[in-house]
Homo-oligomer: A and B are copies of this chain.
Amino acid sequence: MTADTAAIREPGRSASVFVAGVDRLARPHALPRAPCSTCHLRHCCVPAGLSPAQVEGLDRLPFSRRRVQLGGTLYEPGDVFKCLYAVRNGMFKSCVTLEDGRQQVTGFHLPGELLGLDGVATGRYASSATALEDSEICAIPYADLRTTSSADLELQGAIARLMSREIVREHSLMLMLGSMSAEERLAAFLLSLSTRMKVRGFSPIEFHLRMSRADIGSFLGLKLETVSRTFTSLVRQRLLHVDKKHVRILDLHLLRSALDMRTSPLRAAGPHGDGRRR
């Protein structure tokens, strides 16, 4: 079974009729191969930090490139885990679901970022990955990745580092969810986006938010109304320009400082206030 048969679902089709791995025989969205060694994302994707020889090893992996249209999913919770997915362009969100139907967005994914690591644990994905706009991905068959890396200690190490980085990332999300006010959360979210956009060669101070306010709220542990209000509050503080989904950060430095000392601008050097909000 190769990556070519992995299910990529399209919006509007009933999810329940799918069984991962048996759909998409025709694979109308397949695109020509794009080797890692010449990919414009190689500095911020899986190959980052690897030697040219190792990247050539990656090139030999039978991974495939595909289009996914807005609303389409790469996988859903419970699907058999076969591939890791690297975003080539566009944007995705990851969601986890509780038995009772509660959902939470656990991340937004820019080009070069890796999706599906949660499937390694049990052999089935624990979350879903949904395209927030028409996108392209590389599907990397995990079995093949393992085979290739078994011969290469460095590559093994790189994969381990990728997983560990995901753990660290989630640590900081927990910190955000557990100890920040609404305003701090939104600021942290925008700053994180800003940094990641910059790394990818986009403007760090101006970008389109592909996701809805509800998605942002779910990610930040807030209601969509609160997200909306917090946006207008940041705009009133002259930290942002917001026009619908388009955001411009007026002062990155100031926004960053909104993370430390909130509300009143005078408490930066307070000796013993620990800065915690709720």
Q: Does A160 contact B (CB under 8 A)?
A: yes
CB-based contact A118/B175 at 8 Å: no
Instruction: List residues of chain B with CB within 8 A of the CB of A19.
Output: none
Q: Does A121 contact B (CB under 8 A)?
A: yes
CB-based contact A221/B177 at 8 Å: yes
CB-based contact A275/B100 at 8 Å: yes
CB-based contact A171/B275 at 8 Å: no
The stretch of A31-39, A68-76, A150-158, A199-207 in contact with B is: A150-158
B-contact bits for A126-159, CB 8 A (1 contact / 0 none): 1100000000000000000011011001001101
Find residues 65-122 in chain A having any chain B CB closer than 8 Å to their own CB.
96, 98-102, 104, 106, 117-122
A98 to B187, CA, bound (A): 15
Q: Which of B119, B173, B221 contacts A179 (CB 8 A)?
A: B221
The stretch of A56-64, A162-170, A189-197, A244-252 in contact with B is: A162-170
Known contacts A146-B153, A275-B100; A218 and B178 CB within 8 A of each other: yes
Find residues 264-278 in chain A having any chain B CB closer than 8 Å to their own CB.
274-276, 278
Please give the distance in Å from A125's CB to the nearest CB on chain B.
Answer: 10
CB-based contact B120/A160 at 8 Å: yes
Q: Which of B156, B165, B174, B179 contacts A121 (CB 8 A)?
A: B165
Chain B residue, CB-CB nearest to A153: B150
Known contacts A166-B167, A167-B170, A171-B170; A221 and B274 CB within 8 A of each other: no
Between A117, A121, A274, the greatest number of chain B beta carbons within 10 A of the residue's beta carbon is seen for: A121
A255 to B128, CA, bound (A): 28
B-contact bits for A226-262, CB 8 A (1 contact / 0 none): 0000000000000000000000000000000001100
Q: Which of B119, B150, B178 contacts A221 (CB 8 A)?
A: B178
How many residues belonging to A are interface residues under a CB distance threshold of 8 Å?
A: 52
Q: Does A161 contact B (CB under 8 A)?
A: yes
Copies assembled: 2
CB-based contact B179/A102 at 8 Å: yes
Binding site for B on A (CB under 8 A): 96, 98-102, 104, 106, 117-122, 126-127, 146-147, 149-150, 153, 156-157, 159-161, 163-168, 170-175, 177-179, 218-221, 223, 259-260, 274-276, 278
> Can you report 26 A-B residue pairs in the complex whose CB atoms are below 8 A from each other?
A96-B171, A96-B172, A96-B174, A96-B175, A100-B260, A104-B174, A104-B175, A106-B175, A119-B164, A120-B160, A121-B164, A122-B161, A126-B168, A127-B171, A149-B156, A150-B156, A163-B167, A166-B167, A167-B170, A170-B171, A170-B173, A173-B174, A174-B174, A178-B218, A178-B221, A221-B278
